[in-house]
Amino acid sequence: MLRTTVAALAVVVASPALAETSAGEEDLREINEELADFNCGPVEAAEQETSYLFEMDDVACAAHQYDIKVRKVDDAHIIVSMTYDGPLEGDAAPTEDDIARIMTVLEELQCEMDPDDIEKEADGFELDDVYCTTGRYDIDLNASFEETNRRAEY
């Protein structure tokens, strides 16, 4: 009996771990829908650790980043773990949703700009070379897309 147990243990220990793969397109779409409910993401890729568990590192959520695990349960994806990984580092690229919301804010302010001049920062956004009816400015928005500062450009 002892030999059988030792032999079985040796097989388990010597077996390679499941290779991590990337989440499929449908899983990734559903994961991004779940992340959006928490004002996170979107992510371009997720590691599929098992048939039902996915992991994403350094996911942007407002002004912070998290390592997130999502579990697939039936036809749903549910966040099961969010580990704080600190503030966003450097100038991350704004998401398409960020750009759309910023352009709406600027339209309300009677302003326009090139979306390539939007910089995502830890506490919101810096908008460079914004052209308004009253002149040219650099404008800061907080993470809630509210104007916090405006500097005239000459």
What single-letter amino acid sits at 23? A
* No. of helices (H) and no. of strands (E), the chain: 3, 10
Tens digit of each residue's pLDDT, the chain (154 residues): 444 433 333 333 433 444 568 999 999 999 999 998 888 888 999 999 999 999 999 898 876 889 999 999 988 889 899 998 877 766 567 888 999 999 999 999 999 999 989 988 877 899 999 999 999 999 999 989 999 999 998 7
Full-model pTM: 0.50
The helix or strand, by DSSP H or E, that contains position 35, with its residue range, turns out to be helix 25-36
Q: What is the DSSP letter of 37?
A: T
> What's the pLDDT score for residue 1?
44
Q: What is the DSSP letter of 90?
A: S
